[in-house]
Copies of this chain bind each other. A is one copy, B any other.
Amino acid sequence: MEAARADQRREAGLRTQARLLDAALTLIADRGEDGVTLREVTDAAEANIAAVSYHFGSLKSLCGAAIEQALERYLDAQQEAVSALGPGSTLEQLAAAFARPMIRALAAGGRDLAVMRIVARAGIDPPQGWARFDARFHGIRADVLRVLKANVSDVKDQDLILRTRCVAGMLNWLALAPIGAELRSKSEKRLERLLVPVIAGAFRATDCG
């Protein structure tokens, strides 16, 4: 037979894996990793209970894989948004770039928002192997810090990093809290107009006097 034609059984298995990952993504985003049960995830994925053990070894492994997938999608988007910043970017441009992945997710909803909610939850209850992504987080933080230092003077790096974390926390909060649900019907442009000034203000943190 042709080598190009794939094994139908293997393809079906991969589709089941993908459905399980997708179901886990949504459920973890809504209830957290510990709130997801085996039956729930297999029902949502239209798969048999044993499929989780067969394809992933355990429910914990499936959730871990779903969370890793979400983290990677987030880091890709965040890194791309931040790397577009030039050396002379303003705080508003920084704020817009930094918040863009979350703003897009809030406007888009669905899987994109689920990814951001999982990342936010991971910030509260760091999953095992979180350290695996430290380097990429550090890289993004370095890009942000560079722009911050060019715009804000007489503030220690440590304190600028704290401001970045405060802003990231604020955005994560909007993804998780029901209060942030009001924002989800709005367009990207509208969200940008609302949030960017607040974020830039937090970055600036100056009395203006």
Contact = CB atoms under 8 A, between A and B. Distances in A.
Interface of A: 32, 34-35, 92, 123-124, 126, 159, 162-163, 165-167, 169-170, 172-174, 176-180, 194-195, 197-208
Contact of A200 (B34, B194, B205): B205
A176 B206 contact: no
Count of identical protomers in the assembly = 2
A163 B174 CA distance: 11
Contacts of A194: 159, 162
A51 to B, nearest CB: 25
Interface of A is mostly: helix
A166 B197 CA distance: 12
Given A126-B178, A166-B173, A172-B173, 10 more contacts: A32-B34, A92-B207, A123-B177, A124-B177, A162-B194, A166-B174, A169-B170, A198-B202, A202-B202, A204-B208
